[in-house]
Amino acid sequence: MLFSSLFVLIALPTFAAEPISRAVVDLSKSTEIHIAPGRVSVLAMPESIAEAKVGAPGKLKVVPSASDSTELTLFWVEGGAFRTNLIVRTTKRIFVFDVVPVTSGHQDVIQVRGAFGAPGLRSVGRAITETTLAPKLETKLKIVRKLQEGRIE
């Protein structure tokens, strides 16, 4: 049973659209959070939150809890909601979320119980080339030898 539950978490990087959701998230993927306009959600992290950044700060408000350093309150500002991202840096890790406006399937409490994986390393496809930062030493040695031998050209 544990294996099948873990498979579902890996295959679908989203919380189940239930009012109270708990999950272990994959740090190499963004995780969807569903919030209905006019409603508030609480995002509870596994450790203290150091910083939270939102892609559309004029549309989605993220307010740290005054009583719990592991919680954020999320809500849409009036005037239209659209999909945006939320990056939460805790004292140990960085979590990436896609916040999606919904008319049904609102999540009141989202509890992140832990995480696995790590951000992926992506190659940009460039070849590494050798670059000379200083002139070659060989040229200087030739000049010194010629001066020592008395041959000045």
Per residue in 15-59, pLDDT (tens digit) is: 556 778 888 888 989 999 999 999 999 999 999 999 999 999 999
Classify residue 149: in a domain, yes or no. no
More confident site: 16 or 81 = 81
Classify residue 92: in a domain, yes or no. yes
**Count of domains in the chain?**
1
Tell me which residue range forms the domain holding 24: 2-121
Write the CATH number for 22. Answer: 2.60.40
For the beta sheet containing 40-44, the strands, ordered from the edge strand earlier in sequence to the opposite edge, are: 20-26, 109-116, 40-44, 71-76, 60-64
Per residue in 102-115, pLDDT (tens digit) is: 999 899 999 999 88
Classify residue 140: in a domain, yes or no. no
Classify residue 115: in a domain, yes or no. yes
Classify residue 39: in a domain, yes or no. yes
pTM above 0.85, yes or no: no
Classify residue 117: in a domain, yes or no. yes
